[in-house]
Structure 1
């Protein structure tokens, strides 16, 4: 009997584990565990302390960690605290040099503190006042895929993305990235496996080629 590999998936910023619903791996070989976002202890909680709390929920030795976007940053911090088989990031960055200039500018000017948190987290209100099928459909997708609505989480998460201090990439990070990612443009990203036509949300609409790459690397 083949011993299963255990994969722990961390979604993107404020997102629900539902974003992984289209990722397909053979259940006889792999067991997937989803890690929901935790509410920060305080507004000043360090990402290192947060990563430790995420690690506390891992119950298997030598797991494979996989994170999307900000989840990719968090799993890299987690990998500094526990022994892992592999670390895989999708639509994310490996060090601060891969963060684009416009986001670095937002950090310097602290413009990110003006981010309309309520507009993102109060999706139900958006759905009520949405007119037209396209907008309504988008609102339903937001309701489905954005699960973290706590007012403190989003400012904390945005702050920690922009202020991540990783100088150089950790060794052996497996990076999957879309060539049409508008949040972290691929021109700033080095050493990744490219998904053609992949956007920042490709974990949902490019799940098949991503699953294929996962089978090759794990």
Structure 2
């Protein structure tokens, strides 16, 4: 059974993948490492690859922020087969209002208390409609690493990638409020899926993953259309 490397979203960990049926592979959950001062997203992705991924043609799933990192890894490993979920492939797919933070970096004064106080707002943008996803989001907030949060937000809004690797397959939700569809050009759309569709629409997302990875593909050949 082949390894499936899973990179979670900002502030999340391997628990976010527990709702998916990944029985078709052997999940390997990538842990966060401490970012270096001023480290760019692509450099951080390279260090993740060097530490956790020893194969030239791995299967990788990246969620949200993890999808951006997975995109950078895909550029470094052209034989990899990468699926990103609820994410963005280039800086052009980031909403323009995110980029304001690059010039007015208010995220640098972000505090744990503020994150706790804005939980309802976060739930709205993440599409946490069920009790299951709300409880998950609360758990993520309770364990928030402020140093990592601030670095990651800065790395995202400063991301310069313009390349869409041919070995990346993008699955996105039609109702994603954090990364709205009007900015995104995915390969496959989950109808009524929000940013947390990995929880809310887990069965449908699992079916898509199984179908994609079940294809007898060549290394780096996941550039498919359903």
TM normalised by structure 2 equals 0.78
CA distance in 1, matches of 2:2, 2:210: 12
The equivalent of 1:7 in structure 2 is 4
Aligned equivalent of 2:16, options 7, 15, 19: 19
**Is 1:170 the equivalent of 2:188?**
no
CA distance in 2, matches of 1:57, 1:147: 26
**Residue 17 of structure 2 contacts residue 198 of structure 2 at CA under 8 Å; is this kept in 1?**
yes
Query: Once the 2 structures are TM-superposed, how far is the Cα of residue 51 of structure 1 from its aligned partner?
Result: 1.4
Report the structure number with the largest CA radius of gyration: 1
The equivalent of 1:50 in structure 2 is 44
**2:146 counterpart SS class:** coil
The equivalent of 2:35 in structure 1 is 40
Q: 1:5 to 1:83 in 2, by over 3 A?
A: farther
- Number of residue pairs matched by the alignment: 201
**Residue 10 of structure 2 contacts residue 66 of structure 2 at CA under 8 Å; is this kept in 1?**
yes
CA distance in 2, matches of 1:17, 1:147: 16
**Is 1:113 the equivalent of 2:108?**
yes
**Is 1:93 the equivalent of 2:91?**
no
Query: Once the 2 structures are TM-superposed, how far is the Cα of residue 106 of structure 1 from its aligned partner?
Result: 2.5
**2:189 counterpart SS class:** strand
CA distance in 2, matches of 1:192, 1:115: 34
* Long gaps (5+) in structure 1: 127-133
**Residue 80 of structure 2 contacts residue 167 of structure 2 at CA under 8 Å; is this kept in 1?**
no
Query: Once the 2 structures are TM-superposed, how far is the Cα of residue 110 of structure 1 from its aligned partner?
Result: 2.4
